[in-house]
Structure 1
Amino acid sequence: RALNQIVKVYSSHPDIHLLARESISFAKLNQMFSSKDTVKISLVPDIVMSATAKVLGATECHDTSGILRCLRDDKEAALTTKQYSIVDKALVKTGYDIEKTDTHAGGSQLSAAHCTQLLTDKLNQFRAANLVVTDRLHGMILSLLSGTPCLVLPNSNHKIRQTQADWLQAHPRIIFLELNEIDQISKSIDSLLSLPHGPLDESPVDSNKYNDLKKALRYL
């Protein structure tokens, strides 16, 4: 019923643009609005990947140390207790200090200045790590922005898997492991730890990938 109401309301607009950030949502939107000529649907990357860490206030860290463990513990988590144990044992085996973190700060009605500082601090935290291990979409994106090598694990939905598959398959500092590949985690960790950090002024995806968004904005 909710989807039917969305189709009804959105298609009543004379000129509306819907931007999907990965191909599964793109296909779903095309199916939903297949008979609605006023609804224009495009596929563009997550908007955060158009930024750079430098523009967002991150600073260079010359002494990186440790591994950031940014894993979900909510209903969107996909790892089993046994798989969490495998991940943690592999991280301990590296000999690096392990720090647990999250991309969710909590709170509400935060000031713009406070939000900006939270984002800058988080980017600097990611930049200071030798490696990030995450199953959060924006954990992966923060790693990309900060130039830190990242081991990506799936969560319970398609968001992180499909974002990586659509836009980041060729990215040199990301390895995506499916849950049935978890036994390869030590090899993947070692590979990523051998990589240098990337620059802070580099966007994760080519700006041309946002051309449909730029075109839509020109109508405003």
Structure 2
Amino acid sequence: MTFQEWKINLAEWLLLKVKYPSEYIMGTPGLKRFDQYKEKKKIILTLIPSHDNLGDHAIALASKTFIENEFADFEVIEIGINDIYKHAKALRRARHPEDMVFIIGGGNMGDLYRNEEWTRRFIIKTFKQYKIVQLPATAHFSKTPYGQKELTRAKKIYNAHPRLLMMARDETTYQFMKQHFPNKTIMKQPDMVLYLKKEQQAERDGILVCLRNDKESFLKTEERQALLQAVRDEYGEVKTFTTTIGKRVSRTSREQELNKLWDQLRGAEVVVTDRLHGMIFCAITGTPCVVIRSFDHKVVEGFHWLKDVPSMKLVENPEMKEVLRAIEELIKSGSSYKNMPPREHYFTDLRRKINGDAL
């Protein structure tokens, strides 16, 4: 082990020690917690969030729905991102030979969200005897010295796992994974939220806007404010929404919170958003959507899965006049939002692919 690797290991250890005192990393409490599952084959669905981002909670819900539908012969055990450390030993104790670990996808692979990335590495190291499926993800390791050190560490851990299947939800990530994890099975699949289908609504009115104000935003603060004002000037009162709701969401409350937002989207004539899941939520609720790019490739390439849907319009260079033109075109197009591809368009044979039968 190099000195640099030792420092990264120490940093990970200290972070976990602070977050999970006395029971961090495969602690002993509840060692028999999952013993009732010993004779049952199961899928451990993990990296489940507890923060306020409904996009990530929708991924978790969609992933569980997919497993329940497509792997109905398996038990499903959901383990939160903050619980996998203390339950890992009990889960391994209850292992069935056919058990698998599914890691939910999203945009947290890389150095942008350290806790999620380090937890993913812990899972991959700890469950080395299991088949692990990384569900569709976007990878972003920055070109900074820190980002490249994190990439080096990730490559070592990911490549050491003998049965790690990785899914990329965009072309850039797909090529990145093929380059850095050359011995892994790599697949390209859309975001899991497209597995969900929600009831559509015929009567719609008004414009809804959801624009990021964080490190993933392409627009500067003044550009965001000017765009919002331009839409108001053109269409009168404009309502805003966010997929980060300002309170922690649990596995028991996530569907209720998601349904609140989906109900709001169903009533809009057009949505304007630069959030990937703002776009995808529009897709599954049949809501016309003007899509603005984010700071990286995530939204633009995520749009490629929906480019043939008439109710979706991408504005890569979000000048006000282009956004206003796209809104007007969608309003004039009427009910074309009903032409969303069926679930099978994206997920046919995914179980067979995961099992290695259709690759």
- For 1:87, the equivalent position in structure 2 comes to 227
Q: Which TM-score applies when normalising by structure 1?
A: 0.83
Select 2:325's aligned residue among 179, 187, 202: 187
1:41-86 deviation line (CA, Å, top 9, x unaligned): 00011111122113xxxxx545422111100111111113453244
Alpha-carbon contact 1:51-1:203 (below 8 Å) kept: no
- For 1:5, the equivalent position in structure 2 comes to 153
* 2-structure distance, mates of 1:204, 1:135: 22
- For 2:111, the equivalent position in structure 1 comes to none
* 2-structure distance, mates of 1:93, 1:191: 17
What 5-or-longer segments of structure 1 have no aligned partner? 55-59
Alpha-carbon contact 2:194-2:343 (below 8 Å) kept: no
Partner AA of 1:127 in structure 2: R
1:21-53 deviation line (CA, Å, top 9, x unaligned): 00000000000012x2xx100001111112211
- For 1:158, the equivalent position in structure 2 comes to 297
- For 1:107, the equivalent position in structure 2 comes to 247
* 1-structure distance, mates of 2:211, 2:249: 25
How many percent of aligned residue pairs carry the same amino acid?
A: 29
What is the DSSP-based 3-state SS (H/G/I as helix, E as strand, rest coil) of the residue aligned with 1:73? coil
Q: Which TM-score applies when normalising by structure 2?
A: 0.53
* 2-structure distance, mates of 1:133, 1:118: 21
* 2-structure distance, mates of 1:46, 1:61: 23
- For 1:214, the equivalent position in structure 2 comes to 351
Alpha-carbon contact 2:211-2:224 (below 8 Å) kept: no
Alpha-carbon contact 1:64-1:130 (below 8 Å) kept: yes
Q: What value does the CA root-mean-square deviation take over the aligned residues?
A: 2.4
- What is the count of residue pairs matched by the alignment? 208
Q: Which moved more, 1:169-178 or 1:135-144?
A: 169-178
Partner AA of 1:2 in structure 2: E
Alignment CA distance shift 1:82-1:109 (3 Å): closer
Partner AA of 1:19 in structure 2: M
Select 2:190's aligned residue among 45, 53, 57: 45
- For 1:57, the equivalent position in structure 2 comes to none
Alpha-carbon contact 1:71-1:102 (below 8 Å) kept: yes
What 5-or-longer segments of structure 2 have no aligned partner? 1-148
Partner AA of 2:328 in structure 1: D
What is the DSSP-based 3-state SS (H/G/I as helix, E as strand, rest coil) of the residue aligned with 1:194? helix
* 1-structure distance, mates of 2:172, 2:342: 19
Partner AA of 1:186 in structure 2: L
* 1-structure distance, mates of 2:287, 2:318: 25
Q: State the 1:10 CA deviation.
A: 1.9
Partner AA of 1:49 in structure 2: L
- For 2:213, the equivalent position in structure 1 comes to 73
1:135-157 deviation line (CA, Å, top 9, x unaligned): 00000001111111101111111
* 1-structure distance, mates of 2:248, 2:229: 36
What is the DSSP-based 3-state SS (H/G/I as helix, E as strand, rest coil) of the residue aligned with 1:140? helix
- For 1:175, the equivalent position in structure 2 comes to 313
Alignment CA distance shift 1:183-1:129 (3 Å): same
Alpha-carbon contact 2:165-2:354 (below 8 Å) kept: no
Which one has a larger percent strand, Structure 1 or Structure 2? 2
Q: State the 1:193 CA deviation.
A: 1.4
Within the alignment, does 1:15 sit opposite 2:163 as a pair?
yes
Q: Which structure has the larger Rg over C-alpha atoms? A: 2
Alpha-carbon contact 1:67-1:96 (below 8 Å) kept: no
- For 2:32, the equivalent position in structure 1 comes to none
What is the DSSP-based 3-state SS (H/G/I as helix, E as strand, rest coil) of the residue aligned with 1:94? helix
- For 2:177, the equivalent position in structure 1 comes to 29
Alpha-carbon contact 2:211-2:275 (below 8 Å) kept: yes
